[in-house]
Amino acid sequence: MTDDWSELKTAWTAPAPEPPLDSGLIRSVRRRAWLGRLNFYAEVAACLFAAAAGGWIARQYGEWTVGVAALLFATFSLALSVWARTGAETVAAETPRQALEAALAQARSGLRWARAGYWVGAAAIVFVGVVGLEQRPPPGLLLLMAVFLGACFILYARHARSARRRMEAHQAALDALDQS
């Protein structure tokens, strides 16, 4: 009988196999990517509509202050929407590491989106103030806008907390993957 240790040596020195892909994580990454794209397209469409409406109001009715304010608000909102989506596009997740990195990038983008929402909300307050000074809308309409913006801020805060929790969980999972 010969002592051939080559198979044992190969098994001992071979890297540990990758853990199996979590299909729930993969579905979540794909769903969030799809929803993120859908939300981004809706935001771009809303910004383009607001800019066009501002231009039309300025030209048609001579309300240049309101028209320019709408154009500035739309441009600012579009820039923040593009910033929030930076790095959110995912690649095909073929390994657990890729899936976790994609999920982490999406969570970071979600946090940027919430922060952008705060700034867009602040810009909306300025825009509503400009319209209020120029047009003197009924107080009920201003109250409705205040309630709507308040609800938006609450939802952005909730989304930011959720994004931070996801970031921590995905980072912990990546760290655990590195340790194994």
Asked whether residue 121 is assigned to any structural domain, the reply reads: yes
pLDDT of residue 32: 85
- Does the residue 150 lie in any domain? yes
Split into its structural domains, the chain has a count of: 1
Residue 12 contacts residue 89 (beta carbons within 8 Å) = no
Residue 6 lies in a domain: no
Q: What global pTM score does this model have?
A: 0.79
Structure tokens at 108: 């970071």
In a domain, 41, yes or no: yes
Domain-embedded: residue 4: no
| Better-predicted residue by pLDDT, 3 or 173 | 173
User: What is the domain range of residue 128?
Assistant: 21-179
Task: Write out the DSSP string of 30-95.
Answer: HHHHHHHHHHHHHHHHHHHHHHHHHHHHHHHH--HHHHHHHHHHHHHHHHHHHHHHTT-------S
Question: Which tens digit of pLDDT belongs to each residue from 56-109?
Answer: 999 999 999 999 999 999 999 999 999 998 877 766 667 788 888 888 999 999
pLDDT value for 6: 62
- Domain presence at residue 1: no
